[in-house]
Amino acid sequence: MRNLLLIVVALAVAGLSGWVHGRITDRWGPPSNVLAVAKQVENLTLEIDGWQSDPSGKIDDATRKLAGAEGYFSRRYIHENTGAEAHVTILCGRPGPISLHSPIYCFTLSGMTQLGKEAPTQLGAAENGPNADGQSPTETSFAFLVADYRPPESKGGPDIRTFWSWSPDGQTWSTPDDARLTFARQPYLYRLYFTAPVRLFERAAETDQEDEENAATANPVDEFMREFLTRFAQVSRNFETE
């Protein structure tokens, strides 16, 4: 009887281990909640005042699967007054594969050269509604990593500055040292990229720091990123997971 009980327990443990491993590796396909959110990401347009937008190119299936994305958002935004361009890409999928990739690997594999070490930065975005004192909107900081990249000579084009981060809910963005471990228990994960020509940021840096209006004209991308983060937080809060 005791031996039979040990056998039953062993089989139960083995079965549970197999089920857990299958769920982690998506042996039976991604869970329905991941596919539901990914589909809504693909259906986004997210218009930003003062900017025109259009799809910035389809990600082929091989690249999408390599990145672990079940769905993605990719659009090019053009500032109506200055012609400045910014590209936004959001990948959505299971935390394991989404947490592993970043421009450090993806961009360099595509032939781009990273110009200097990536650095942490904060992008502030004003939330809707007053703060605790009821006087003014509160300010939330979103953590990103940033680095500059140079396209291969065969393709040409300007050096680009890329900001990237991860979020489990579209509300908060962070860049933990071990993203896979940090987000392991989340049902799904977003990875977001902002890219724009480096020259826009250099031009803004040369502008008198006290002249905020001219600085914004030199590089409207900063304000665009803040506005986009706020809009995506609003929209993703209402995503259906079934």
Q: In which residue are the tokens 């982690």 written?
A: 24
pLDDT at 155: 82
Close Cβ partners of 228 (under 8 Å, ≥ 6 residues apart): 46, 48, 88, 194
pLDDT of residue 103: 80
Give the pLDDT score at 194: 94
> Rounded to whole angstroms, how far apart are CA atoms 176 and 173?
10
Q: What is the pLDDT of residue 55?
A: 86
pLDDT at 53: 92
Q: Which residues pair with 88 in a beta bridge?
A: 75, 194
What pLDDT is recorded for position 80?
Answer: 93
Q: Is the Cβ–Cβ distance between 167 and 188 less than 8 Å?
A: no
**Model pTM above 0.75:** yes
Say what the pLDDT of residue 167 is: 94
Cβ atoms 5, 60 nearer than 8 A: no
Per-residue pLDDT of the chain (242 residues; tens, 9 = 90+): 444 443 334 333 333 333 333 344 444 345 678 899 999 999 988 899 999 998 877 888 887 787 788 999 999 999 999 899 999 999 999 999 899 877 887 788 788 999 999 999 988 654 444 444 444 444 466 899 999 999 998 888 899 999 999 999 999 999 999 999 999 999 999 999 999 999 888 876 665 555 555 555 667 888 899 999 999 999 998 888 76
Q: Over the range 71-82, which residues count as b (16 or more CB within 10 Å of their CB) and which as e? A: bbbbbbbebeee
Amino acid 19: pLDDT? 33
* Cβ-Cβ contacts under 8 Å for 122 (sequence gap 6 or more): 141, 142, 143, 144
pLDDT given for residue 154 in this prediction = 83
Task: Give me the residue spans of the domains in the chain.
Answer: 1-29, 31-236
Single out the residue of 57, 102, 76 nearest to residue 192, CA to CA: 102
∠ CA 109-44-83 to the nearest 5 degrees? 70
Beta bridge partner(s), residue 72: 91
Neighbours of 228 (CB within 10 A): 22
